Amino acid sequence: MEVQTFDGQQGQGVFSFYNLAGQRNAASGSYQVDIYRPAGQQNITIKPKAWIKQPGGYSMVGFTLNQAGSALNGNVDFGGCDSISLKRQDKSANTMEDGKGANQPATVNQGRPLTSTQDSPGIWQGLLSSHLGSIKRANPVTLTLIDTGGILHLDSLTQSCKWLISGQANQQGQFSATVYRGKPQNCKNGTVSLNNDGDKLVLANTPLFNQPLVLQRHLGPVERPAGEPVPDFKVLGVGLGNMVDKLQDLSEAPKQFKAGQHDNPQGNRRFVNAEMPLNALYSTVVWPFNTHPNAHQDVLSAYAVRLRGNHISAIQRIHRPMPNSAPNASAYAQALLAQYGTPSQETAKHKTRTFTWHYDRQAKLLPATQAARCTPENPNDRDQLRARISTEYAWFKLYHGKVTVTEQTANSTLIPVSDCGFTLTYSLTAQDNGTVDRLSAVAFDHTAIANSIWQDRARYAKTEVSQQAKRLEKGANAKLRL
């Protein structure tokens, strides 16, 4: 909890929560709080005010505390919650001792100083506070670190800067930060120290921002312990961890439609978006209609990311039954619940019902109360890193009694969450008569997809770091013609 203002009886602050180093049992978030302490008393009341960053499924809570020296101990004012204990980190942090330290910024735990960018590879994100006139803004900052250096990007309405970060720190523990994109009046060369504090990276001792900046780990390499289990659910006989080249044998599909590389990693991309095709081997099998053999009533695709060999990391199914022989949608929904159990999440919109089963990294099904562990904090954020899988298939249309077969593409977006293991989602859309119009299923391994996305980003970052380093070197050694 950061105390921003306190006059001895009332004040304001920010309460933040997140995973401790090595833990994966919570999402990260923060909210504003009001602080009250009656005159002459040691009891302190913390009341929640407004969300700053709200993860899905979380609610704000207040606290009742007693001050004992530099510590605050008490209870969480919410049913089912336990005690809380806060300790001042150092003497320069804000205190509640009769207003001393009010309006001073709280200090940041600096963590372990880095001497090389390869010590904390990944994508780190945070917000930099600034003012545009009287309006306070929070500008996104992204730092991508690889073994050969890094890219620091500040993106705001008034300025956009990109710095090339050196791969090694100097003797003073500082990394050089050289501007390679941005207006000279807004973007300056400088140095920065990097300190790792578990899932946080602290940028300090830098003139770039005139304030310490805390970044959260957004994406990076994730180690999978040997023998980590995989859920035993199947989609048409196929499960995560099966071999992608055995798809037809596993599913007993009458026909293999396609197989190959879902994305070409050798292609040089000029632009990299937040959502890119998953880099994986894939195989697609189909069940054709008896009456229309060129069209597909059921399609199953499996994807194996390169880091896992031929082991399936994602599955997509598209089922479109013949209208005059489609099963009852309610009966189909009950069959899904009987096969997979009580879902972690369930939604209904118009004629579509969606069931989602989340599993932790030990392959245990998560109840609804823990579904937030697998929910992206900002799924609609344009900067949210994700992967896209696509399945092509053929479908028929009846027009004036004639059948026309058309090519179709089904796309699904996979957003991995660090605290989640596996996800299975079924969406069931009914027709007006209550029968199934369309059914889709998506299953994926969060760790495998996250590692694949990171490898793709790291490959792009390595190219950009190399190119910009060469350009800056040529510029520094260029001969002047006078």
Residue 23: is its pLDDT beyond 80? no
CA nearest neighbour of 336 among 435, 188, 480, 233: 233
**Average pLDDT for 345-365:** 94
Within-domain flag for 251: yes
User: Which alpha helices (DSSP H) does 299-384 contain, by range?
Assistant: 329-340
Full strand arrangement of the beta sheet holding 29-36 = 2-6, 10-17, 29-36, 43-53, 63-68, 71-76, 83-87
More confident residue, 167 or 373: 167
Within-domain flag for 465: no
Q: What is the pLDDT of residue 1?
A: 86
Within-domain flag for 92: no
Residue written as token pair 């054709």: 288
Number of structural domains found in the chain: 3
Q: What is the pLDDT of residue 140?
A: 85
Do 154 and 14 share a domain, yes or no? no
CA nearest neighbour of 422 among 230, 227, 244: 230
Question: Which percentage of the chain shows pLDDT scores above 90?
Answer: 42
CA nearest neighbour of 174 among 144, 199, 142, 207: 207
Question: Which percentage of the chain shows pLDDT scores above 70?
Answer: 87
Do 136 and 251 share a domain, yes or no? no
Residue 88: is its pLDDT beyond 90? no
Q: What count of residues does the chain have?
A: 482
Q: What pLDDT, in 10s, does the model give residues 439-454?
A: 999 999 999 999 999 9
Q: Which of 188-202, 305-319, 391-405 has the lowest mean pLDDT?
A: 391-405
**Rounded to an integer, what distance in angstroms lies between the CA atom of residue 377 and that of residue 386?**
13
More confident residue, 201 or 306: 201
Q: What pLDDT, in 10s, does the model give residues 115-129?
A: 999 999 999 988 887
What pTM was computed for the model? 0.72
Do 118 and 162 share a domain, yes or no? yes
Q: What is the pLDDT of residue 146?
A: 94
Within-domain flag for 481: no
Give how far Cα 302 sits from Cα of 261, 280, 438, Å. 11, 9, 19
Do 166 and 277 share a domain, yes or no? no
**Average pLDDT for 186-191:** 88
**Rounded to an integer, what distance in angstroms lies between the CA atom of residue 410 and that of residue 408?**
7
Do 263 and 357 share a domain, yes or no? yes
Please compute, for residue 32, the number of CA atoms within 13 A of its CA located in the half-sphere on the CB side. Answer: 9
Q: State residue 188 phi and psi, 5-degree precision.
A: -120, 150
**Average pLDDT for 196-204:** 84
Within-domain flag for 71: yes
Q: What pLDDT, in 10s, does the model give residues 224-239?
A: 766 778 999 999 999 9
Do 173 and 215 share a domain, yes or no? yes
Q: What is the pLDDT of residue 94?
A: 36
Do 32 and 168 share a domain, yes or no? no
CA nearest neighbour of 377 among 417, 422, 344: 417
CATH classification of the domain holding 192: 2.40.128
Within-domain flag for 213: yes
Mean of pLDDT over the chain = 84
Do 208 and 328 share a domain, yes or no? no
**Rounded to an integer, what distance in angstroms lies between the CA atom of residue 177 and that of residue 151?**
9
Q: What pLDDT, in 10s, does the model give residues 237-285?
A: 999 999 999 999 999 999 988 888 877 544 444 456 778 889 899 999 9
More confident residue, 161 or 222: 161
Cβ of 367: how many Cβ atoms within 10 Å?
Answer: 11
Q: What is the pLDDT of residue 101?
A: 34
Do 296 and 412 share a domain, yes or no? yes
Do 34 and 174 share a domain, yes or no? no
Do 341 and 272 share a domain, yes or no? yes
End-to-end CA distance of the chain: 59
**Average pLDDT for 302-320:** 90
Within-domain flag for 93: no
Q: Which of 99-108, 133-142, 436-445 has the lowest mean pLDDT?
A: 99-108
Within-domain flag for 15: yes
Which amino acid belongs to residue 262? H
Residue 98: is its pLDDT beyond 50? no
Q: What is the pLDDT of residue 382?
A: 61
Do 407 and 275 share a domain, yes or no? yes
Query: Which range of residues forms the domain containing residue 298?
Result: 244-458
